[in-house]
Amino acid sequence: MLSFQTTRCKLSSVLCCSFSAAMLRYSGRYNDDMAFLNRRVWPQVERVAFCHDSVSCRKYPTSLPFPVERRGTEHLGQRYDELSTGNRDDIHELELATVDYKCVPAKDRSRQ
């Protein structure tokens, strides 16, 4: 899964408007946060963001392998229900992903 942080800058300069104005078309529906990041933030930071990705680190020009081994289908931003069970759709997506051993820490590449 992808995790990124960008160089220091004000969010409003990345969005070209205030955060409140940028969020007007988004509600609290499922995956609206990802839609917001993909549509409004990522296009503005994709060339300067520092990314760690354990699945597709070669897909994004500023990506690097994730620094620690992922255990099973655990990932940053993982969602759980009230019984601490991971979201099945997210888990299924990771189960289908082909492991790119260039995207895992060097010590874990021996598992190829």
Chain centre distance of CA 112: 24
Whether the model pTM is above 0.85? no
- Return d(Cα 78, Cα 64) in angstroms, integer: 20
Query: Could you tell me the sign of the dihedral formed by the alpha carbons of 46, 42, 7, 64, in that order?
Result: negative
pLDDT tens for residues 50-93?
888 888 888 888 888 888 887 888 888 888 889 999 999 889 98
- Return d(Cα 52, Cα 50) in angstroms, integer: 7
